[in-house]
Amino acid sequence: MNSLENELSKNIEGEVHSEKEFRNFYSVDASSYIIRPKIVVIPKNEDDIIKTIKIAKKSKTTVTVRGGGTGLVGSALNNGIILDMKNFDSIKIRKNIVVVGTGVIKGKLDMELEKMKKFFPPNPSIGSFCSIGGMVGNNSSGSRSLKYGSVIDNVLEISVIDGKGKKIILPKNEKYGKKIFEKIKIDYKNFPKVSKNSSGYRIDSIESEKDSHKIIIGSEGTLGIVTSVKLKIRNIPEKRILFVVEYNSLKNCINDSITLSKTNPSAIEFVDRPTLKQIDHDFQKNTKCLLFVEYDEKIIQNEKKLTSSISGKIIKKLTKKEDIHKWWKFRDSSLHYSLKSIKKEERIPHVIEDAAVPIEKLPELFEIIEKINKKFKTKSIVYGHIGNGNLHVRLVGDRKKTELIKTIAAKYFHEIIKNSGTITAEHGDGLARSEFIKMQYGKKNYQTFQEIKRLFDPDYILNPGKIISKKSTITKNFEIL
Ligand SMILES: Cc1cc2nc3c(=O)[nH]c(=O)nc-3n(C[C@H](O)[C@H](O)[C@H](O)COP(=O)(O)OP(=O)(O)OC[C@H]3O[C@@H](n4cnc5c(N)ncnc54)[C@H](O)[C@@H]3O)c2cc1C
């Protein structure tokens, strides 16, 4: 047993592990990266977290919190102590609010809420497997975020332990809220003009001290360890209707997405031809892409609006819960389908997979993807939350050209930023994008980010290298190359 492990074991009630199997398990997530931690701590309570942070500081090591490990850009990987929050599993449902421990798995929360005919709207396609802490860490979202927003729009209160080992409840702690608010200086010119954004710190969401908790959302465990959150919940709509619309022209599909986004749908999602080929349905031979369009209110009026305004062909109109669920599963499996259709040696690590632009710039976004393919001799598989201008791009090509990946990413992000977009709308910055945050936000906003980091974590103990980053990490520590 080394001295760090000894010190942790002596002081905390939860589990401390340095066995090879544990370090290996926590060295990977759903990204293409691998980093082996020194030690894994499974805290039993908040006191354990406070002690772990203090011991880490004394031992000059770091603390990175992890939820379900479903992140796609290595945000929960690091080489110091990993904190697994699984014991923070309480769920307390009140009328329109739920107070949840951050180790709670989303699928469990969904099940408990459904019993009360309620739901928490942000719905990542990974569904059951991500944790509430990870969703807060990444400011996650999903198909229904088009109508209901991302995590940042659905949280009322956060309990967090900062890098000094101090517990803070935001926005309740007005003194701390004031300190945060005083630091916020925004250069709006360099802020993305998008409906969803998971890049950097969301200083733009803080209009007063009352919003101070929002600084934590999307901060990827770099400002504090969130132990519990108070979330807004809603009644499950009495009716939903899902249309699956077939297109043989991408241009028409883009135009329809823009038109439909003005009709208050709960979701507009896109899948391309390689993806739809994996769906168990007989599509027309020349079908290029599909839209999934869902409404959860004014069903009859919205159906009329949709049928009168689109140019695609409706191939499914679904109103039964089981049918809707079955077709959403097809859309939610897109990442899996995309992997199925690419040979292993042609999978380029997904570092540019999550950009978003203002919806009216969708034609430009598809053009940028085409430009990248032409320039770098790649192909792409594209699917995602088109109603938010957010497309997931999977590049296919010669996987061994590691040095090219950074060049492609820099080019892609440059174009995205030029079009008022964000380099990541829901998956976060992690190892893939933190070095591009300065390019995204400019010097002034980045300075504010640094000030915020210093306020919460002056010793840079918490998940170092993410968001505030001095080194290039995009192509370091790839697992598969
Ligand atoms: C197939 C697939 C589909 C996906 N689809 C979507 C999608 O539709 N929408 C979407 O938004 N994402 C999606 N994702 C990405 C990912 O699943 C989500 O971002 C998810 O919310 C991450 O949760 P997690 O518990 O796995 O977090 P982790 O990967 O464990 O951690 C993510 C980040 O949150 C931080 N974190 C974790 N717990 C805490 C805590 N208690 N306090 C502070 N910070 C914390 C970590 O340090 C890390 O920086 C998908 C992933 C996969 C593999």
State the CATH number of the domain containing residue 46. 3.30.43.10
H or E, element range at 313: strand 313-318
How much is the pLDDT for 403?
A: 85
Residue 321 has pLDDT above 90, yes or no: yes
In a domain, 56, yes or no: yes
**Pair 71, 194 in one domain:** no
In a domain, 315, yes or no: no
- The rounded Å distance from CA 390 to ligand 1 centre is 17
- 132 Cβ closer than 6 Å to some ligand 1 atom: no
Q: Kindly indicate the confidence band of residue 355, based on its pLDDT and cuts at 50, 70 and 90.
A: very high
Q: Is the pTM of this model over 0.95?
A: yes
How much is the pLDDT for 6?
A: 97
Return d(Cα 51, Cα 57) in angstroms, integer: 10
3-class secondary structure, 73: coil
Mutate which of 105, 126, 217, 468 for ligand 1? The one with the most ligand atoms within 8 Å of its CB, which is: 126
Residue nearest to atom 11 of ligand 1 (CA): 140
**Count of domains forming the chain:** 2
How much is the pLDDT for 132?
A: 98
Bridge partner list, 42 = 15
How much is the pLDDT for 1?
A: 67
In a domain, 213, yes or no: yes
Q: Structure tokens of 362?
A: 């969708």
Residue 251 has pLDDT above 70, yes or no: yes
Return d(Cα 147, Cα 438) in angstroms, integer: 30
pLDDT in tens, 419-463: 999 999 999 999 999 999 999 999 999 999 999 999 999 999 999
Q: Kindly indicate the confidence band of residue 350, based on its pLDDT and cuts at 50, 70 and 90.
A: confident
DSSP symbol at 112: H
Residue 339 has pLDDT above 90, yes or no: no
How much is the pLDDT for 399?
A: 75
**Pair 141, 58 in one domain:** no
In a domain, 273, yes or no: no
- The rounded Å distance from CA 72 to ligand 1 centre is 8
Give burial (CB, 10 Å; 0-12/13-18/19+) of 260: buried
pLDDT in tens, 157-216: 999 999 999 999 999 999 999 999 999 999 999 999 999 999 999 999 999 999 999 999
Residue nearest to atom 2 of ligand 1 (CA): 126
**Pair 112, 199 in one domain:** yes
**Pair 73, 131 in one domain:** no
In a domain, 464, yes or no: no
Mutate which of 31, 40, 66, 152 for ligand 1? The one with the most ligand atoms within 8 Å of its CB, which is: 66
The residue segments making up the domain with residue 169 are 91-235
Give the chain's end-to-end CA distance (angstroms, integer).
33
In a domain, 20, yes or no: yes
**Pair 9, 79 in one domain:** yes
Angle between helices 362-376 and 402-418 (to 10 degrees): 150
**Pair 136, 178 in one domain:** yes
Mutate which of 65, 195, 388 for ligand 1? The one with the most ligand atoms within 8 Å of its CB, which is: 65
Distances (CA, A) of 183 to 63, 208, 223, 448, 454: 25, 12, 14, 7, 10
- 62 Cβ closer than 6 Å to some ligand 1 atom: no
**Pair 71, 98 in one domain:** no
**Pair 127, 225 in one domain:** yes
Q: Structure tokens of 464?
A: 């170092």
Residue nearest to atom 32 of ligand 1 (CA): 134
Mutate which of 125, 215, 292 for ligand 1? The one with the most ligand atoms within 8 Å of its CB, which is: 125
Task: Output the domain CATH number for residue 202.
Answer: 3.30.465.10
Nearest to 266 by CA among 116, 98, 121, 425: 121
Q: Structure tokens of 366?
A: 């598809």
The mean per-residue pLDDT over the stretch 125-152 comes to 96
Contact between 228 and 159 under an 8 Å Cβ cutoff? The reply is yes
3-state secondary structure 401-464: CHHHHHHHHHHHHHHHHHCCCECCCCCCCHHHHHHHHHHHHHHHHHHHHHHHHHHHCCCCCECC
Residue 401 has pLDDT above 90, yes or no: no
**Pair 63, 127 in one domain:** no
Return d(Cα 416, Cα 410) in angstroms, integer: 10
The mean per-residue pLDDT over the stretch 57-73 comes to 98
Query: The dihedral of CA 267, 285, 373, 256: what is its sign?
Result: negative
- The rounded Å distance from CA 188 to ligand 1 centre is 27
Radius of gyration over every alpha carbon of the chain, rounded to an integer in angstroms? 22
Residue 98 has pLDDT above 70, yes or no: yes
Residue nearest to atom 16 of ligand 1 (CA): 71
- The rounded Å distance from CA 282 to ligand 1 centre is 34
- 158 Cβ closer than 6 Å to some ligand 1 atom: no
Return d(Cα 94, Cα 74) in angstroms, integer: 34
Domain boundary among 207, 235, 263: 235
Return d(Cα 411, Cα 389) in angstroms, integer: 19
Distances (CA, A) of 408 to 72, 352, 375, 376, 412: 18, 8, 9, 8, 6
H or E, element range at 119: strand 118-119
Residue 338 has pLDDT above 90, yes or no: no
Residue 481 has pLDDT above 60, yes or no: no
**Pair 101, 79 in one domain:** no
What atom of ligand 1 comes closest to residue 226's alpha carbon?
42
Distances (CA, A) of 12 to 3, 16, 65, 227, 230: 14, 8, 16, 16, 26
- 126 Cβ closer than 6 Å to some ligand 1 atom: yes
pLDDT in tens, 27-37: 999 999 999 99
Query: The dihedral of CA 423, 30, 88, 140: what is its sign?
Result: positive
**Pair 162, 42 in one domain:** no
Residue 480 has pLDDT above 70, yes or no: no
Average pLDDT, the chain: 96
- The rounded Å distance from CA 138 to ligand 1 centre is 6
**Pair 70, 125 in one domain:** no
In a domain, 413, yes or no: no
Domain boundary among 54, 84, 114: 84
H or E, element range at 43: none
DSSP, residue by residue, 342-407: S-GGGB---SSTT-B--GGGHHHHHHHHHHHHHHHT-EEEEEEEGGGTEEEEEEES-TT-HHHHHH
Instruction: Give the amino acid at 300.
Output: I
Return d(Cα 20, Cα 167) in angstroms, integer: 32
How much is the pLDDT for 253?
A: 98
How much is the pLDDT for 428?
A: 98
Bridge partner list, 377 = none
Virtual torsion, Cα 117, 121, 124, 129, nearest 10 deg? -40
- 102 Cβ closer than 6 Å to some ligand 1 atom: yes
How much is the pLDDT for 462?
A: 98
Q: Structure tokens of 338?
A: 């995309």
Contact between 448 and 191 under an 8 Å Cβ cutoff? The reply is no
Angle between helices 362-376 and 250-260 (to 10 degrees): 150
- 85 Cβ closer than 6 Å to some ligand 1 atom: yes
Distances (CA, A) of 98 to 171, 280, 374: 17, 37, 48
In a domain, 214, yes or no: yes
Distances (CA, A) of 184 to 199, 207, 224, 337, 455: 16, 10, 18, 42, 12
- 228 Cβ closer than 6 Å to some ligand 1 atom: no
Angle between helices 437-456 and 174-183 (to 10 degrees): 150
Bridge partner list, 161 = 167, 225
Q: Kindly indicate the confidence band of residue 347, based on its pLDDT and cuts at 50, 70 and 90.
A: confident
Domain boundary among 32, 51, 84: 84
What atom of ligand 1 comes closest to residue 102's alpha carbon?
41
- 464 Cβ closer than 6 Å to some ligand 1 atom: no
Of the two residues 126 and 251, the one the predictor is more confident about is 251
